[in-house]
Amino acid sequence: MFYVTRRYQLAASHRLHAPQLGADQNRQLYGKCNNPFGHGHNYVVEVSARGPLDPSTGRAVDTAALDALVERQVLEAFDHRNLNIEVAAFRSLVPTSENLGLEIFRRLEENWSQVFPGEWPKLEKVRIAETPRNIFEVSAKL
Amino acid sequence: MVITRRVEFSASHTCSSPALSAEENRAVYGAAANPHGHGHNYVLEVSLQGEPDPVTGMVLDLKLLKDILNREVVDPYDHRFLNYEVPPFDRVVPTSENIARDIWNRLRPHFTTGPRLHSVRLYETPDLYVDYRGE
């Protein structure tokens, strides 16, 4: 079994604000991230797929197909966007990197069979570095 | 406990399968199918799993691992055209997956006792890497 990982970057802005909480609570909880005007990050997103070697190509994952899927489902939707305003999922959900990771994983999983119609490869993991110091991982359920 | 040593080598390769036509190879491998070859600065991370020796406090002397990596991987791979100069890539397409597996096979015999070979991670570029654990 091989695990193939591709790294992508996207720049986006967001604001962390939970509508269920009051203004003071939000400020206390999210600190600077609650700034009403928002702020941005250069997110580094790693997408890992696992699969056996295809004997005819010597590869486990067609990285061009993975790139096309990520481009369509993730980069086009999130890169140079305001996540709160421009991504439907975050109109009612705080765009923390936990939720961003889950949303990216969900989008890739939902559209996976468009580019990988066979049994393999499978989506293994999404890893997001919001900054080089804050890293979030979502793995496939076994 | 897992310990990791990183080494680098630069090599050229071309990816095309003799089972496929020139057109099919271009469709599958893209620019990597250029028959004249192209190169990468590969980065290899090799991880061993074991417990620290109660006397030395080390899982394995990393100097020893460095010597094995140099002898088994860097010396044969570095500044070579893999398809022409490094078997088995005269008959196996030198994709990152196949290179990772070949490296695993070269290293595995050195770790039959003591720390276990845990994983091989091969970066073809900073944006593309393969993990292989022998399974």
As for the ipTM of the complex, it is 0.88
Across the range B59-85, mean pLDDT stands at 96
Catalytic entry in A14, A17, A103, A130: A130
Across the range B35-59, mean pLDDT stands at 95
Mind giving me the DSSP string for A33-85?
GG-TT-EEEEEEEEEEEEE--BTTTTBSS-HHHHHHHHIIIIIHHHTTEEHHH
A5 near B130, Cβ under 8 Å? yes
Q: Could you tell me the residue range of the domain that residue A99 belongs to?
A: 2-139
Structure tokens at B39: 């190169």
Q: How far apart are alpha carbons B40 and B32 in whole angstroms?
A: 11
Q: How far apart are alpha carbons B10 and A47 in whole angstroms?
A: 25
Using pLDDT thresholds of 50, 70 and 90, give the confidence band for residue B19: confident
Side-chain-side CA neighbours of residue A38 (13 Å)? 14
Minimal Cβ distance to A59: which of B97, B129, B131 = B97
Q: How far apart are alpha carbons B4 and A139 in whole angstroms?
A: 23
Q: What is the CATH number of the domain that holds A123?
A: 3.30.479.10
Residue A33 bears catalytic tag: yes
Mean residue pLDDT across chain B: 96
Residue-level pLDDT at B4: 96
Across the range B93-113, mean pLDDT stands at 97
Q: Could you tell me which chain B residue has the CA closest to the CA of A6?
A: B128
Using pLDDT thresholds of 50, 70 and 90, give the confidence band for residue B18: confident
Minimal Cβ distance to A6: which of B92, B128, B131 = B128
Higher pLDDT, B126 or B18: B126
Residue A41 bears catalytic tag: no
pLDDT at B76 over 90: yes
Minimal Cβ distance to A58: which of B17, B126, B129 = B17
What is the residue whose two structure tokens read 């890893």? A127
User: What is the domain count for chain A?
Assistant: 1
Select from B118, B128, B133, B135 the residue whose CB has the most chain A CBs within 10 Å, as the one to mutate to test that interface.
B128
Boundaries of every domain in chain B: 2-132
**Residues in chain A where the model's pLDDT stays below 50:** none
Higher pLDDT, B56 or A111: A111
Across the range B73-80, mean pLDDT stands at 98
CATH of domain B2-132: 3.30.479.10
Tell me, what amino acid is at A65? A
Across the range B108-133, mean pLDDT stands at 97
Residue-level pLDDT at A63: 96
